[in-house]
A and B are shown apart, each in its own frame.
Chain A
């Protein structure tokens, strides 16, 4: 499956059974989260040999609870992708069908959890990179509210969008991990100084009175009818369990992908300016210094990284900044306003996580726009900074998992957990596992 790039053979001996809540629990980590003393590469050649001198805050927190930091998971290079095919170390495969992608960019994390190769994993989500692979691999993936989890030690892609979150088999596991991951961190000035509730207390099998909104803009042409059928059936199940389901409007949804591919790539091109061969990672020895930068970046970055660096540099460049970057930021405001209005009427918004189930390896790799549009239902959440969870809601006729996305108000992860748990316990899709006997 090529889900892992590296394994950690040691485990923490200071961890104690009965004392450390995650004693011996193997948690794997997307390869853009820094682990002290372990090579961390973002699946890119340019970070070959990069060994961080510190732990990301999320790693520190997991270690403090006794977790074993088990594997470092393959991903799209610098999290640039929706299929985990842009890794410099080869594509990740989907455990449900090895000819298909696991989604991305946290594809290694989702595939590893789905195939029971690790008990849980961390991913990062800038435009859907936790939720879309969770949907494609039939597991649970939570993108927390922007600011809920510290980004310290997460190698930055889009700094106003990025969030680390758990990928797990069950909703309960995600809640347990969020109790550990969430909270203010003085090392991340964008982490929110707000108290963290006990998320496991939200795991009640009760959605009576809950108001759930179905946005018509998410059931559009191009959506796979089998995905639509499963997601609509999920809404019916929640209704049967006592929730009130109604239609809501998010009129600027169709502009989300365009906003994202201006604003997020602008942030990315700026963040990737630091990879220049001077302090860490790859250096192509060239003279003089200027040539060293150009050659190191040429040989170090893959095709999609170059595409985004160029696009981001362009939209920020003199003469184009207002027409593209500023325009994008303004439409971002309209998309946020859509959600603010919708959440006056409902507690949860229910949508498909992605318009299709997992697609074939190679299918979209040479058509960047088609690839970008596979994130059409996950991107708006990052633009607005709200939390969202993807949970399994059924299978296509060919046996591929379908994901259901639930969104909530900022810092209302509890309502997501409550809704997701009620649905999961009622349907038990999580009990079905991919067949891994090597036969198709």
Chain B
């Protein structure tokens, strides 16, 4: 299998150093080769498990409560302006 590491890295929003790419590709191909052993099991009649507890529709009442989390959260932000997180421009002008 051709594991397109740069395409996956792009999806994961991850730059990879050139020297990392080869080793990571090899590692991931080995792991994906190993997990292929699952193909020997017939699962056509098996339901998937996404969660082990038999809980469904866990609701709580929608009550407003005082919270000062905003100020505390902004205190350690990498960059802020007033009551906002500040980030670089999304679109640069040509």
Residue positions of A touching B, CB distance < 8 A: 49-51, 53-54, 146-147, 160, 186, 189-190, 192, 252, 254-255, 257-259, 261-262, 269, 273, 276-283, 285-295, 297-298, 301, 303, 306-307, 309-311, 313-314, 317, 324, 326-334, 336, 368-369, 372, 383-385, 410
Q: Within 8 Å CB of B9, what residues of A?
A: 310
In the complex, the answer to whether A51 meets B28 with C-beta atoms within 8 Å is: no
Q: Which of B12, B16, B38, B49 contacts A255 (CB 8 A)?
A: B38
Quick check: is B11 within 8 A (CB to CB) of the other chain? yes
Q: Mark B17-47, 1 if CB is under 8 A from A, else 0.
A: 1001000100110111011011101010011
Chain A nearest CB from B90 CB (Å) reads: 5
In the complex, the answer to whether B52 meets A160 with C-beta atoms within 8 Å is: yes
Cα distance A281–B39 in the bound complex, in angstroms: 41
Give 6 nearest A-B pairs by CB, closest first.
A385-B52, A53-B72, A329-B48, A283-B78, A298-B15, A330-B43
In the complex, the answer to whether B89 meets A289 with C-beta atoms within 8 Å is: yes
Q: What is the size category of the interface that chain B forms with chain A? A: 35 or more
In the complex, the answer to whether A280 meets B73 with C-beta atoms within 8 Å is: yes
Q: Within 8 Å CB of A410, what residues of B?
A: 52
Q: Within 8 Å CB of A190, what residues of B?
A: 51, 53, 55, 58
In the complex, the answer to whether A327 meets B43 with C-beta atoms within 8 Å is: yes
Total CB contacts across the A-B interface at under 8 A: 168
Residue positions of B touching A, CB distance < 8 A: 3, 5, 8-9, 11-17, 20, 24, 27-28, 30-32, 34-35, 37-39, 41, 43, 46-53, 55, 58, 60, 69, 72-73, 75-79, 85, 87-92
Closest residue of chain B to A314, judged by CB?
B8
Contacts A287-B88, A288-B90 given: A331-B43 contact, CB under 8 Å? yes
Seed contacts A310-B24, A327-B38; 9 additional CB < 8 Å A-B pairs: A53-B72, A192-B55, A255-B38, A279-B85, A283-B79, A297-B13, A311-B32, A330-B47, A334-B46
In the complex, the answer to whether A328 meets B38 with C-beta atoms within 8 Å is: yes
Cα distance A286–B49 in the bound complex, in angstroms: 41
Q: Within 8 Å CB of A286, what residues of B?
A: 88
In the complex, the answer to whether B58 meets A189 with C-beta atoms within 8 Å is: yes
Q: Within 8 Å CB of B91, what residues of A?
A: 288
Chain B nearest CB from A143 CB (Å) reads: 13
Cα distance A192–B92 in the bound complex, in angstroms: 49
Cα distance A214–B79 in the bound complex, in angstroms: 56
In the complex, the answer to whether B88 meets A331 with C-beta atoms within 8 Å is: no
Chain A nearest CB from B20 CB (Å) reads: 7
In the complex, the answer to whether A288 meets B89 with C-beta atoms within 8 Å is: yes
Q: Within 8 Å CB of A287, what residues of B?
A: 88-89, 92
Chain B nearest CB from A253 CB (Å) reads: 12
Chain A nearest CB from B16 CB (Å) reads: 7
Q: Within 8 Å CB of A334, what residues of B?
A: 41, 43, 46
